[in-house]
Amino acid sequence: MSGTAQIGVTGLAVMGRNLARNFARNGYTVALHNRTAARTRELVEHFGDEGDFVATGSAEDFVAALERPRRLVIMVKAGEATDAVIGEFAPLLENGDVIIDGGNAHFEDTRRRERELRERGIHFVGTGISGGEEGALDGPSIMPGGSEESYASLGPMLEKISAKAKDGAPCVTHVGPDGAGHFVKMTHNGIEYADMQLIGEAYQLLRDVAGYSPARIADIFRTWNTGRLESYLIEITAEVLSHVDGATGKPFVDVVLDRAEQKGTGRWTVQIALDLGVPVSGIAEAVFARSVSGHADLRDASRHLAGPAARTLGEDEAAAFADRVEQALYASKIVAYTQGFHEIAAGSEQYGWNIDLGAVASIWRGGCIIRAAFLDRITGAYEARPRMVGLLADRGFAEEIAAAQDDWRTVVATAVTQGVPTPAFAAALAYYDSLRAERLPAALTQGQRDYFGAHTYRRTDRDGTFHTLWGGDRTEVES
Ligand code: 2AM
């Protein structure tokens, strides 16, 4: 016999609870399950009036409560717990049932789980869910992987509970098979790391070079948020910078310990980029910047390492500099997204996912943290040229960067001469200049490799592989 619940959620900590409530508020009957029964009871006690819930105790009761094909969402901490829960439920499921993993799983784990369950006739949908607790409840950005067939049964429900972009479009798309959804969620977080680091560097420059107070910088971010930089992150930056600490009366940003963590997805984005050979220098610098911030031992050096003489700008100069920082931030942001989308394209190629990059940009417009106005432009650029390698191949973005580049260079140069660390701005600019360069010193690198290790080289003027007899008469031999 089949139950009546259209979806079930197991793992009812805050994310699972809110996702279950979101489904129920949208008219679905939701079966509930949690290892510890108290959480299930609490959900029904506090939110039972929000919709139709079927509270269950045992794994068997949970599975029995679901209509077929069963749709079962797992919301537990990514890693061993996910495997434990799959191991508990899979034996109770039947052909065509769907397990959805909404945790932040590594896409390789998702690929493995999908393969194992497919062999047993069960669909496994690794799903990126972005937007935190609030998003889970009110509408997240959802990045599901898995089979076409599973999306046909699950997609309409996800579309209902997802965030909606300003034009009303649901922030969910079937990203691609097996691990594609979790891969895209990982890269989304990597891009987010870069975005946040770039904003942090802009703030530091306005503080240390322009000499502005946090409150004044908050006003600048508010102004920027009315233009092309409009995004959730710029908006909340203004809120954080204008907040005054209740206990001390100081700017909040001055009383927060300046050590950031770098967990899971940001680090994975860089690790996988190295495996795929994709240059994500801006994202990598963002991860490293957090790492540096966390090394109290290294930063002890702040007591004895010398910097340049301080120089303060006049009022007019400072205002002009602030405008330049906006240009630098925008140009660097285009580079960060270029690098992130390149990684998605490379993953798609490597694993045969056939990911629609424009669709990915469009589902980040609501629910998640990125939520930037210029995502529409990215979607448009990929619609025009689906095979485009990087956003800089798009004429519109290239023109904007060209217009920004003088200010971008001035800002990076100023940061260097004034001793303000801006690793992500500088990495983004170096990336741009590398793409622009007609010749790169890789030619010299190849020469060195051939000299010390006979690694051979190719020539610009004819085909073939060559080696120079460096130890002998330095003639060239074809190899
Ligand atoms: P709990 O309430 O019984 O601790 C986040 O930790 C969620 O994942 C919680 O709902 C938690 O259940 C659940 N969870 C964590 N590890 C688990 C496991 N090994 N098996 C089942 N549920 C687990």
Per-residue pLDDT of the chain (479 residues; tens, 9 = 90+): 579 999 999 999 999 999 999 999 999 999 999 999 999 999 999 999 999 999 999 999 999 999 999 999 999 999 999 999 999 999 999 999 999 999 999 999 999 999 999 999 999 999 999 999 999 999 999 999 999 999 999 999 999 999 999 999 999 999 999 999 999 999 999 999 999 999 999 999 999 999 999 999 999 999 999 999 999 999 999 999 999 999 999 999 999 999 998 778 899 999 999 999 999 999 999 999 999 999 999 998 878 899 999 888 999 999 999 999 999 999 999 999 999 999 999 999 999 999 999 999 999 999 988 898 899 999 999 999 998 988 999 999 999 999 999 999 999 999 999 999 999 999 999 999 999 999 999 999 999 999 999 999 999 999 999 999 999 999 999 98
Q: How far apart are CA 328 and CA 340, in angstroms?
A: 18
Residues marked as binding? 11-16, 34-36, 76-78, 104, 130-132, 188-189, 193, 263, 290, 449, 455
Closest ligand 1 atom to 36 CA:
3
Closest ligand 1 atom to 38 CA:
2
Give backbone dihedrals phi and psi of 125, rounded to 5 degrees, phi first.
Answer: -115, 95
Token readout for 81 is 């717990």
For the Cβ of 78 lying below 6 angstroms from any atom of ligand 1, the answer is no
Highest CATH level, class, for 439-476: mainly alpha
Whether 333 is catalytic is no
CA of 10 to the centre of ligand 1 (A): 9
- Residue whose structure tokens are 């940003």: 253
Does residue 158 contact residue 144 with C-beta atoms inside 8 Å? yes
Residues of the chain with CATH 3.40.50.720: 5-173
CA of 149 to the centre of ligand 1 (A): 29
Residue type, 26: N
Q: How far apart are CA 273 and CA 338, in angstroms?
A: 13
For the Cβ of 20 lying below 6 angstroms from any atom of ligand 1, the answer is no
Specify whether the backbone of 454 is left (phi greater than 0), alpha (psi in -120 to 50) or beta.
Answer: left
Q: Which CATH architecture has domain 183-434?
A: Orthogonal Bundle (1.10)
Does residue 206 contact residue 176 with C-beta atoms inside 8 Å? no
For the Cβ of 41 lying below 6 angstroms from any atom of ligand 1, the answer is no
Q: How far apart are CA 422 and CA 408, in angstroms?
A: 12
For the Cβ of 318 lying below 6 angstroms from any atom of ligand 1, the answer is no
Q: Which of 235, 255, 280, 209 is closest to 372 using CA atoms?
A: 235
Residues 6+ apart with CB under 8 A from 202: 325, 326, 328, 329
Q: Tell the burial category of 332 from Cβ atoms under 10 Å away from its Cβ (0-12, 13-18, 19+).
A: buried
pTM > 0.85: yes
Give me the torsion for CA of 76, 79, 82, 86, rounded to 10°. 180
CA of 74 to the centre of ligand 1 (A): 10
- pLDDT attached to residue 411: 98
Chain centroid to Cα 418, Å, comes to 31
For the Cβ of 37 lying below 6 angstroms from any atom of ligand 1, the answer is no
DSSP 8-state secondary structure symbol assigned to residue 366: S
| Long-range contacts, stretch 91-94, CB < 8 angstroms, 24+ apart | 92/59, 92/60, 92/63, 93/63, 93/122, 94/68, 94/69, 94/70, 94/121
**What are the distances in angstroms from CA 415 to CA 206, 267, 418, 439?**
11, 26, 5, 27
**Residue of minimum CA distance from atom 22 in ligand 1:** 35
Chain centroid to Cα 26, Å, comes to 28
- pLDDT attached to residue 412: 98
For the Cβ of 59 lying below 6 angstroms from any atom of ligand 1, the answer is no
Give backbone dihedrals phi and psi of 39, rounded to 5 degrees, phi first.
Answer: -65, -40
**Residue of minimum CA distance from atom 11 in ligand 1:** 11
**Residue of minimum CA distance from atom 12 in ligand 1:** 35
For the Cβ of 85 lying below 6 angstroms from any atom of ligand 1, the answer is yes
Residues of the chain with CATH 1.20.5.320: 439-476
For the Cβ of 36 lying below 6 angstroms from any atom of ligand 1, the answer is yes
- pLDDT attached to residue 1: 55
Whether 164 is catalytic is no
CA of 255 to the centre of ligand 1 (A): 35
- pLDDT attached to residue 264: 84
**Residue of minimum CA distance from atom 18 in ligand 1:** 81
Q: How far apart are CA 232 and CA 371, in angstroms?
A: 6
- Residue whose structure tokens are 């994500």: 280
Residues of the chain with CATH 1.10.1040.10: 183-434
Does residue 163 contact residue 367 with C-beta atoms inside 8 Å? yes
- pLDDT attached to residue 310: 83
**What are the distances in angstroms from CA 251 to CA 168, 247, 280, 398?**
38, 11, 34, 38
Q: Which CATH architecture has domain 5-173?
A: 3-Layer(aba) Sandwich (3.40)
